[in-house]
C-alpha cells in the first residue's frame, strides 16, 4: 500500500494545487456569506458551455493548468460549478487537456483537486448549512466504495495501454459530448 501511494504521489503536480486550493477556498468563503441560488437549468448550460467554448479558444489563450493564474482560475470556476450543480468534471477537464502534463500527472493531480472539491462540499453543506440526509441506507456506502475501487482499477488498465496523445484526444471528445449533455439538460430544465 505504501509503495502504491508513493507511485501515485510522484505524479501529482503539487505546484498546481496551491493556487487551485486558494481559488477553491475563496469560493467556499463566498458561498458561506451569500445565499445565491441560481436556476439549475442556467447552471447546467453554463457548465456545459464552458468546456465547449474553451476547446475552440485560440492557442494564444492558454488554459494550461501548470500556470499559477490558470490553476487559480480553475479553482474558482470548478469549485463554483461543484457548489452550484454538484458536478464539475467538464469544467475541470478543459484545464488539464490543454496542459503539457502527462496522463499520469493529469490523473494524479486531478484526483487531489476532485477530493478537495468533495471535502469543500461536505464542509459547506454538512457543517455550514446543516444539511444532512438520512435517506441513504447504510448498505449504499460500501457499494459506492467498491464501485470507486473497481472504476479506478479499470481506468488504470486503460490508461496504461494508451499514449499521452491518445489520452488527451479521447478526453477532448468526451468533454465535448458531456458538454452537449449538460447544455441539453440545462435547456430541458429551463423548459
* 19 has a pLDDT exceeding 90: yes
Which pLDDT score is estimated for 73? Answer: 92
- Chain segment 166-179, per-residue pLDDT in tens: 988 888 888 889 88
How many angstroms separate the Cα of 175 from the Cα of each of 97, 101, 168?
9, 17, 10
DSSP label at residue 44: H
Q: What is the mean pLDDT of residues 29-54?
A: 81
For every residue of 89-137, DSSP letters joined together read HHHHHHHHHTSS--HHHHHHHHHHHHHHHHHHHHIIIIIIS------S-
In this structure, what C-alpha cell is assigned to residue 146?
467498491
Whether the per-residue pLDDT at 38 is higher than 80: the answer is no
Residue 47 and residue 121: Cα distance in Å, rounded? 17
How many whole angstroms separate alpha carbon 33 and alpha carbon 25?
A: 13
Give mean pLDDT, residues 144-165.
82
Contact present, 54 and 4 (Cβ < 8 Å): no
pLDDT digits (tens, 9 = 90+) for 103-120: 888 888 888 888 888 888
pLDDT-based confidence at 135, cuts 50/70/90? Answer: low
pLDDT band at 188; cut points 50, 70, 90: very high
Amino acid at each position: 500500500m505504501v509503495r502504491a501511494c508513493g507511485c501515485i504521489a510522484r505524479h501529482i503536480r503539487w505546484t498546481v494545487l496551491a493556487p487551485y486550493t486558494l481559488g477553491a477556498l475563496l469560493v467556499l468563503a463566498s458561498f458561506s456569506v451569500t445565499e445565491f441560488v441560481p436556476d439549475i437549468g442556467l447552471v447546467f448550460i453554463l457548465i456545459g458551455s464552458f468546456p465547449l467554448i474553451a476547446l475552440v479558444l485560440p492557442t494564444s489563450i492558454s488554459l494550461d493548468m501548470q500556470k499559477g493564474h490558470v490553476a487559480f482560475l480553475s479553482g474558482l470556476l470548478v469549485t463554483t460549478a461543484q457548489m452550484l450543480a454538484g458536478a464539475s468534471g467538464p469544467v475541470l477537464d478543459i484545464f488539464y487537456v490543454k496542459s503539457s502534463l502527462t496522463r499520469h500527472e493529469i490523473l494524479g493531480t486531478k484526483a487531489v483537486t476532485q477530493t478537495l472539491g468533495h471535502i469543500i462540499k461536505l464542509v459547506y453543506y454538512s457543517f455550514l448549512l446543516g444539511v444532512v440526509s438520512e435517506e441513504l441506507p447504510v448498505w449504499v456506502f460500501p457499494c459506492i466504495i467498491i464501485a470507486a475501487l473497481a472504476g479506478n482499477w479499470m481506468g488504470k488498465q486503460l490508461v496504461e495501454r494508451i499514449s499521452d496523445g491518445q489520452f488527451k484526444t479521447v478526453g477532448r471528445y468526451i468533454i465535448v459530448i458531456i458538454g452537449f449533455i449538460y447544455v441539453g439538460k440545462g435547456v430541458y430544465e429551463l423548459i
